[in-house]
Amino acid sequence: MTINPRLKLIYFKMRALAEPPQILMHAAGIKYEYLMAWEYFGKPWNEAKKNVVFKQLPILVINETDTIAQSGSILRYLAELSGMMPKDLVSIHKADAILEAAQEMFAPLNPTINFSIGADYEANSIKMLPGLESKVNDFERLLALEPDTPFFMGNTPSHCDFSVYHHVSMAQFMHPNILNNALHLKQLLIAVESLPSVQEYLNQRPNLIDVGREPKLVINGRPVPTGVLHTD
């Protein structure tokens, strides 16, 4: 594996699947460049996507020569690169199972927060609450098995912790009281935020505003609509 590869993470104007890789890279001190799809491809996404692996983002571009698609695979690569992958085979796959469970929360949670408005937002948030609560309970039970360690796999984070952090924090964004009875999961979120450079990243990333009305990201001090289209 190339030492200190040049990394480019390509995605859109939304707070979704690019977040866990970015949080991991900040925690690990891995340098990377984040680019919107139109910045990297030099053309609108609807023109570029036909040549992209699986026709979707995010992708991680390594040294301009290799591309890793699928957010879970990106997290696994970064965990290997940073030394955050568990050391034994059983633990690796236990962490992978947690990662996959967290990824199941993506839809409709992330699309609803980033794009739904009005009655659609309210209806979706109510409809998905039982499923979100079920996942929160699952994660809480797993963490409670080892109550003296902050992360799923012990005292150090692995790739699954970053995916759980993102999706659970999005669930909490939508339903502020969802962690009221999840003490260990609350502690996981605090533990992730306490990692070096993570809080700095969370404080400086584009703020997501007007959720449920007209979602926007505040980029360089200017609110812009969420989405896959370039806006000047």
Q: What is the CATH number of the domain that holds 11?
A: 3.40.30.10
The pLDDT score that the predictor gives to residue 207 is 97
Give pairs for 115-119: CB < 8 Å, separation 24+.
115/14, 115/215, 115/226, 115/227, 116/212, 117/212, 117/213, 117/214, 117/215, 118/212, 118/213
Same domain, 17 and 52: yes
- In-domain check, residue 168: yes
Same domain, 69 and 96: no
Same domain, 21 and 41: yes
How far apart are alpha carbons 173 and 175 in whole angstroms? Answer: 6
- In-domain check, residue 231: no
pLDDT per position as a tens digit, 153-166: 999 999 999 999 99
Tally of domains within the chain: 2
Q: What is the CATH number of the domain that holds 116?
A: 1.20.1050.10
* pTM (predicted TM-score): 0.96
Domain that holds residue 47: 7-83+200-225
Same domain, 20 and 97: no
- In-domain check, residue 1: no
How many other CB atoms are found less than 10 A from the CB of residue 67? 13
- In-domain check, residue 25: yes
The whole-chain average pLDDT of the chain stands at 96
pLDDT per position as a tens digit, 46-92: 999 999 999 999 999 999 999 999 999 999 999 999 999 999 999 99
Same domain, 56 and 112: no
Same domain, 19 and 40: yes
Same domain, 71 and 95: no
- In-domain check, residue 2: no
